[in-house]
Chains A and B, each alone.
Chain A
Amino acid sequence: MDFGFTEEQEMLRTSARDFLTTECPADLVKEMAEDQQGYKPDMWAKIAELGWMGLAFPEQYEGMGMTFLDLAVLLEEMGRAVLPGPFFSSVVEAGFAVLEAGSEEQKKEILSKIATGEAIATLAVTEPSASYEASAIAVTAKGEGDGYVIDGTKLFVDNAHIADYIIVAARTKEGGKPEEGITLFVVEGKAPGITTTLLKTISGSKQCEVIFDKVKVPKANVLGDVDKGWPVVDKVIEKAAVAKCAEMVGGAQAALDMSVAYAKERVQFGKPIGAFQAIQHHCANMLIDVDSSRFLTYQAAWKVSEGMEATMEVSMAKAWVNEAYRRVTQLGHQIHGGIGFCMDHDMPLYFKAAKTGESLFGTSDWHREKVAQELGL
């Protein structure tokens, strides 16, 4: 066992923290929450220049050839800074789907463009049922001439409003098991027949409704095998769940750091409130939640990174981190008192990020059920 990071990972962490501290201050995060686009193109270009978008992509696709575990280290820092923008949707959701199932040509085109920041991409799986189960896929793609016609509504599609590519999971065959008959398509974000509506979320996270009205897609845009798209989606959701955990761990750590710093400087009854045991125990509980979340997350990320079966570890992590991050931010607010409840303060960023992260890629109940299944219950 080795609970430590490599020297390269420590360097990545340090450089990411330095960059994000300068380029992504809390004020920018607040501004982007209200902004329609949700990201600054100039910062996006700088991130692309650092190579982060292609960090875990192979070198032949403009990537850096680093591991998923390395990416987790970077995501932790992004979560700490509550980085706005389409990094997660482009790299983790769409990028890994293309990496998993794409043809050489598709990988060369799409992954390279994602890596260089030239294109923004996303993955459209969930629908109004808000479920990550295969049975929830009702959007259809019917064969017509040389291609397919996609119809239906996708919901909670991350950054679809600015996406150049949307990877869509659609049903191509009815009957049989729900997992069978689902196909992935690469669809241009602005293709005729697509209507995107930005939803108003608690954190300003750019979740969209995407309506497909007879959207024509050529056969060449099928990603992977026809009718066999679900195992790909399953794998990507698994990676996205643990990647989201890494972000959430970073956010939880930031909320803890901020609260401890405040507890040391805020004076009441003639002493710093951090000298009171009630506050100390809140802080200790936060650290216990942060630490437990971190190791559970990195255990899952390590397994994914090593190409090992990780369903159990990923579900354990997401089930736990969802609730741990919420508890940490709740206690952080309690320590800050009224000032933390104000819009101008930074604490709300973390509470809202926790709420958003909790609902994406599986709630705690959903993941606990997966753990129960893994236990043979």
Chain B
Amino acid sequence: MDFSFKPEQEAYRQEIRDFIKKELPPGFEAGVGGHVESDEEWKIARSMTKKLAQKGWLNIAWPKEYGGQNNHMFSVILNEEMNYWCAPGLDFGGVGMLAPALMAHGNEEQKKEHLAKIAAGDVVWCQGWSEPEAGSDLPNLKTRAVEDGDDYVINGQKVWTSLAHHADWCFLLVKTDPEAQPKHRGITFILVDFKTPGITVSPLVTMSKERSFSEVFYDNVRVPKKNVVGQVNGGFKVAMTAAGFERSGIYRIALALRNVDRLIEWAKRPQPDGTVPAKDPVVRQKLADLYIRGRIARLLAYRVAWLQTQGAEPEWEASIARVFGSEFQQYAGHTGASLQGMYGMLMRDSKWADPECNMALQSILGIGATIAAGTSEVQRNAIALRGLGLPRG
């Protein structure tokens, strides 16, 4: 066992920090997973993506034959640093999901058309999977694709589609055989140009007042058959590859680690009434507990990356990292806001809010943490079934 980072990993971490310091405007803070809100912020995010691409970092975890460095540890370090410093620009959908699926299941033409552009940060991809009736039960999706000559004609509705309002392209799951049993055998993975007529994007506003995802309506959208990745009705397998590449969930953990560090500094500062929270034994206990949970979450995430460097495909280990990490994020937000007492309800731009350590928004974001990309319950099911071999109900 060895819990230290190698010198080159430490050096890379420092290089990323220097990069962020140089390239990110002072005071700029992206949200969870690099989310930005305004058009102006989006421009900054895009420019960061291009710069990451130019450095060859965007796809650092990709296999070497596709221009990457096959370095999962570097990738987790990059993810951790970018999210800790609230820097936007990483491309989770294109680089982290679609590209590995294309490498495994795409044909040469598809790889040629898309991989270089993804690596260059030229195209914004979104993930069209969830639907109103297909959340945790993804195979129950209803969006229908019907053959018509050289095309598929797609009708239906997707929801929770992150980045849809900025996207150029979407990797979509559609039902091509509604009669198939089990249901996942009737699903196809298809690439859709978002400029195609018939697509309507309707942004949803979250309880944090952010437009981070949308509803997307498909009304007779015509997509060439050549855009199918893998086999027709074999899309679920492609989707599992897409979901299996970046599994550490470090981005949430990094954000929460930053919140804990902010809270520790907040606790050392005198408050408006002159008291210093760090002198209160209850506050000390809670902050120490948060810190410990953060360190555990980080270890569990790095274990996933380490398993990947060993050539393993972590499943339940990734679910453990996800459950622990997202619940840590949630707990940090709630505990932080609670420690701040009445000030814990003030949003960052309010009079009297602490600009250095605002936990009100974090407590809201914590609600989403245990739901997005597989709820805690679904993750626990996976741990019980795959990690412990318990029987299906």
Closest Cβ of chain B to A362, distance in Å, is 13
Q: From B324, which residue of chain A is reached at the shortest CB distance?
A: A288
Asked if B289 and A275 sit within 8 Å, CB to CB, the answer is no
Number of A-B contacts (CB under 8 A): 138
Tell me if B391 and A372 are in contact (CB < 8 A): no
Docked-complex contact A291 and B392, CB < 8 angstroms: no
Partner of A1, one of B73, B268, B292: B73
Docked pose: A279 CA to B384 CA in angstroms: 9
Which residues of B (292-309) have their CB < 8 Å from a CB of A? 292, 295-296, 299-300, 302-303, 306-307
Measured CB to CB, the closest approach of chain A to B311, in angstroms, equals 13
Closest residue on chain A to residue B379 by CB atoms = A284
B304 to chain A: closest CB distance in Å?
A: 10
- Give the number of chain A interface residues (Cβ < 8 Å): 42
The answer to whether A69 and B1 have CB atoms under 8 Å apart is yes
Cβ–Cβ < 8 Å partners of B389 in chain A: 260, 264
Q: Which one of A2, A284, A372 has the highest number of Cβ atoms from chain B below 10 Å of its Cβ?
A: A284
> Which residues in window 271-315 of A have CB below 8 A to B?
271-272, 274-277, 279-281, 283-285, 287-288, 291-292, 295-296, 298-299, 302-303
B384 contact set on A, CB distance < 8 A: 274, 280-281, 283-284
In the bound assembly, the distance between CA atoms of A125 and B389 in angstroms comes to 45
A57 lies within 8 A of chain B by Cβ = no
Known contacts being A281-B384, A368-B284, is A4 close to B393, with CB within 8 Å? Answer: no
| Complex contacts, A274 vs chain B, CB 8 Å | 384, 390-391
B393 touching A276 by the CB < 8 A rule?
yes
How far does the alpha carbon of A78 sit from the alpha carbon of B128 in the complex, in Å?
51
Choose among A275, A284, A316 the residue that contacts B391 (Cβ–Cβ < 8 A): A275
| A281 B377 Cβ-Cβ under 8 A | yes
Q: Is B119 an interface residue (CB 8 A)?
A: no
> Does B381 count as interface, using CB distance less than 8 angstroms?
yes
- Does chain A have a CB within 8 A of B385? yes
Which residue on chain B has the smallest CB distance to residue A373? Answer: B284
Q: Is the CB of B291 within 8 A of A375?
A: yes
Q: How far is the CB of A46 from the nearest CB of chain B, in Å? A: 29
In the docked arrangement, what's the CA distance between A295 and B303, Å? 9
Q: Does B187 contact A (CB under 8 A)?
A: no
CB < 8 Å neighbour of A295 from B292, B300, B383, B391: B300
Knowing A5-B1, A295-B296, A371-B291 touch, does A288 contact B383 (C-beta < 8 A)? yes
Stretch touching chain A among B2-10, B219-227, B330-338? B2-10
CA separation between A373 and B244, bound complex, in Å?
40
**Cα distance A281–B391 in the bound complex, in angstroms:** 13
Contact of A284 among B264, B267, B289, B380 (CB under 8 A): B380
Which residue of B has the minimal Cβ distance to A305? B1
Is A320 part of the binding interface, using a Cβ–Cβ cutoff of 8 Å? yes
Chain A interface helix/strand/loop/mixed:
helix
Indicate the size class of the contact surface on chain B: 35 or more
B278 on the A face (CB < 8 A): yes
A133 to B186, CA, bound (A): 66
Asked if B380 contacts A280 (CB within 8 A), the reply is: yes
Return chain B residues, CB-CB under 8 Å to A375. Answer: 264, 287-288, 291
Whole-angstrom distance between the Cβ of A264 and the nearest chain B Cβ: 7
Verify A272–B292 contact, CB threshold 8 A. no
By CB atoms of chain A within 10 A, which of B268, B295, B377 has the most? Answer: B295
CB of B383 within 8 A of CB of A372, answer no
Nearest Cβ on chain A to B269's Cβ, whole angstroms: 12
Known A260-B390, A264-B391; judge A1-B281 contact (CB<8 A).
no
- The answer, yes or no, to whether A365 is at the interface (CB within 8 Å) is yes
Is A342 interfacial (CB-CB < 8 Å)?
no
Is there contact, CB below 8 Å, between B285 and A296? Answer: no
- Do residues B380 and A292 form an inter-chain contact, with CB atoms below 8 A? no
User: Is B264 within 8 A of A377, CB to CB?
Assistant: yes
B323 within 8 Å of A (CB atoms)? yes
Asked if B388 and A260 make an inter-chain contact with CB atoms under 8 angstroms apart, the answer reads: yes
B206 nearest CB across to chain A (Å): 27
Other-chain contact of A319, B2, B292, B381, B387 (Cβ < 8 Å): B292
Instruction: Report B-chain residues with C-beta under 8 Å of the C-beta of A337.
Output: none
Q: Does B320 sit within 8 A of A, measured CB to CB?
A: yes
Q: Is A175 an interface residue (CB 8 A)?
A: no
Most buried by B among A1, A5, A288, A320: A1
**Cα–Cα, bound, A116→B316 (Å):** 43
Would you call B391 and A271 a contact (CB within 8 A)?
yes
Q: Is A338 an interface residue (CB 8 A)?
A: no
Residues of A within 8 A of B390 (CB): 260, 263-264, 272, 274-275, 279-280, 283
B285 and A3 form a contact (CB under 8 A) = no
Contacts of B303 in A (CB 8 A): 3, 295
A275–B388 Cα distance when bound, in Å, is: 12
Checking A3, A271, A283, A372 against B284 with a beta-carbon cut-off of 8 angstroms, the contacting residue is A372
Q: Is the CB of B284 within 8 A of A377?
A: yes
Most chain B CB inside 10 Å of its own CB: which residue of A260, A263, A372: A372
A302–B267 CB distance below 8 A: no
Shortest Cβ gap from A246 to chain B (Å): 12
The one of B1, B283, B387 that contacts A302, using a Cβ cutoff of 8 Å: B1
Q: Closest A-chain residue to B292, C-beta based?
A: A316
Q: Does A369 contact B (CB under 8 A)?
A: yes
Q: In the assembly, what is the distance between CA of A217 and CA of B121, in Å?
A: 76
Q: How far is the CA of A291 from the CA of B377 in the complex (A)?
A: 18
Q: Is the CB of A371 within 8 A of B288?
A: yes
Report whether B324 and A287 are in contact in the complex, using a CB–CB cutoff of 8 Å. Answer: no
Residues of B within 8 A of A (CB): 1-5, 73, 264, 267-268, 278, 281, 283-285, 287-289, 291-292, 295-296, 299-300, 302-303, 306-307, 310, 316-317, 320, 323-324, 377, 379-381, 383-385, 387-393
19 A–B pairs (Cβ distance < 8 Å), ordered by A: A1-B3, A3-B1, A264-B389, A274-B391, A277-B393, A279-B390, A284-B380, A284-B383, A288-B324, A291-B320, A292-B300, A295-B300, A298-B3, A299-B299, A302-B3, A368-B288, A372-B278, A372-B284, A372-B285
**Closest CB pairs A-B (n = 5):** A280-B384, A368-B288, A371-B288, A372-B284, A284-B383
Given contacts A3-B306, A277-B377, A292-B300, 7 further A-B contacts (CB under 8 A): A1-B5, A2-B2, A280-B384, A281-B377, A287-B316, A287-B320, A292-B299
